[in-house]
Structure 1
Amino acid sequence: MSLLAVTDLKKSFGGNVAVDGVGFELAAGELLALIGPNGAGKSTIFNMIGGQLAADSGSIMLGDMALRGLSSRKIARLGVGRTFQIAATFSSMTVLENVQTALVARHGRVYSFWHPAHEIYRSDALALLAQVGMQEHAFKPCRELAYGDVKRVELAMGLANDPKLLLMDEPTAGMASAERHALFSLIKSLAEKRRMAVLFTEHSMDVVFAYADRIIVLARGTLIAQGSAQDVRNHPKVQEVYFGSGKTFEAPVLGAAS
């Protein structure tokens, strides 16, 4: 049974059709990559699922719950988390405080007279940091972290909402090859343990082909192919789109230099 079902999704901006009848499904514990050239409609689809944009037509179902028309806040409370291409952490706050802030937002608390702010959800935040391998850095300011570690903190913040579905927009942007693979190995492990579905966009084909369970490919707002890595790599329309941009679908070599 699908956790996420998107059907005939459409969105236009004036006379420009950004997404035209896109549909796909995503199961619990599955990693689904959404790829395509710039302007293909990837971010628009993400924003419609997350509630930042309203779809013109179509449906978005999370289990038996309709997401279309709901605010991003309501969608988050239903179990949809998100990370962004540019890490959304507070650089002056410690790693622990960043995750505590995400937990406070999830529970709708801003302050409790009976509990000092630094103690709110402390144990929960430390547990999340342990899951992403960042507990030993809990008391460091985020500005002192390497970029790959900042992305792990952002992942912990995304998990603070205990999501059924996690949307990840270019999670490895700006990372070297070894960092990319380490992060995605962690994401895949967490998805399997939590039975959490992950929908992600990614320009690094090495991680797409190494970690995605399935891949869907967009071009000019339409879905042109979907399936396994091998299916997508051999699809004539996909080859045409990517050969036209100078990219190829050679099998990735794990650990290869970026």
Structure 2
Amino acid sequence: MTVLLQVRNLSKSFGGVKAVDGIDFDIAEGELLALIGPNGAGKSTTFNMVGGQLAATTGSVLFKGVDLVGMKPRAIWRRGVGRTFQIAATFASLTVVENVQMALLSHHGRTFGLWQPAAAQFRGEALDLLAQVGMDSQADRPCSELAYGDIKRVELAMGLANDPKLLLMDEPTAGMAPKERNDLMALTKRLVVERRMSVLFTEHSMDVVFAHADRMIVLARGRLIAEGSAQMIRNHPKVQEVYFGSGKTFEKDKAMQEAAQ
């Protein structure tokens, strides 16, 4: 299997505190990889170093052989790395299709049209992207009228505007109901196959992670403590200890989550 992204000895220090401490991991082409860990594990810091929002203290992030460390987020985006955010970043006053058109205009370097209004540009391409996420029937509705789960689908369409080979998804199901969570990640997994892209995502909902991730990496206190399949991670004693203490398991936690919903 071809490796798309190679992270080596990646570290980030804030003063005397090492938020991320020399981690290594790979993402293969066509892989849905989950980055998980308890609060304060270094997930967001790692994620933002890969995307260029934070500068690494040491290490490399090789995307198709090119080191992304030191690049601005926009330069990384132009190389084929898409991004969605924990809090959906859409323009509420614009329609669904206009939001995707804005992303396409930015990708093509045309933030305004000299001879034609922006609303006329890339509409067909935007509708195609909306069809891929099941939102084309709502193309002309303002985003302000949408349910939160539908807004996340619009954001996903926007994240596909640069035809990414790697999509970074930061807490993609945050704030969503259980069915919405699993529907969104099932859609993401289908897009991984159809578009032959890879996805790195952070997630707190273990039901989503175990149901949809091809593989997982686990951080704790800035260090990578485990990686592997759902079954390997589920049974890993160090992961269970870090998450729950010595007497609990993922099965018990999942049961508690379901009882609370």
**Range of TM-score over shorter length:** over 0.9
- Distance in 1 (CA, whole Å) between partners of 2:97 and 2:74 is 23
Counterpart residue number, 2:87: 86
| Change over 3 Å in CA distance of 1:128–1:236 after alignment to 2 | same
**Residue 41 of structure 1 aligns to which amino acid in structure 2?**
G
| Change over 3 Å in CA distance of 1:76–1:246 after alignment to 2 | farther
2:231 is aligned with 1:230: yes
Counterpart residue number, 1:45: 46
- Tell me how many residue pairs correspond in the alignment: 256
**Residue 119 of structure 1 aligns to which amino acid in structure 2?**
A
List 4+ stretches of structure 1 deviating above 4 A: none
- Distance in 2 (CA, whole Å) between partners of 1:246 and 1:173 is 27
- 8 Å Cα contact 2:101-2:121 kept in structure 1: yes
**Residue 10 of structure 2 aligns to which amino acid in structure 1?**
L
TM-score where L is the length of structure 2: 0.95
**Residue 164 of structure 1 aligns to which amino acid in structure 2?**
K
Structure 1 unaligned regions, length at least 5: none
- Distance in 1 (CA, whole Å) between partners of 2:251 and 2:67 is 39
1:250 is paired with a residue whose SS is helix
2:251 is paired with a residue whose SS is coil
- Distance in 2 (CA, whole Å) between partners of 1:174 and 1:229 is 24
2:72 is aligned with 1:71: yes
- Distance in 1 (CA, whole Å) between partners of 2:81 and 2:55 is 16
Per-residue displacement from partner, 1:29-80 (whole Å, max 9, x unpaired)?
1100000011110111111111111111111001111111111111010011
- 8 Å Cα contact 2:240-2:246 kept in structure 1: no
- Distance in 2 (CA, whole Å) between partners of 1:95 and 1:247 is 44
Per-residue displacement from partner, 1:152-206 (whole Å, max 9, x unpaired)?
0000000001111000000000111110111011000001111111000000000
Counterpart residue number, 1:22: 23
Please state how far the C-alpha of 1:109 moved relative to its aligned partner. 0.6
TM-score where L is the length of structure 1: 0.96
2:63 is aligned with 1:62: yes
- Distance in 2 (CA, whole Å) between partners of 1:246 and 1:53 is 37
Counterpart residue number, 1:4: 5
Q: How does 1:1-258 map to 2 (within 5 A)?
A: 1-244=2-245, 248-250=249-251, 258=261
- Distance in 2 (CA, whole Å) between partners of 1:100 and 1:39 is 37
**Residue 145 of structure 1 aligns to which amino acid in structure 2?**
L
- Distance in 1 (CA, whole Å) between partners of 2:78 and 2:248 is 39
Greater CA drift, 111-120 or 222-231: 111-120
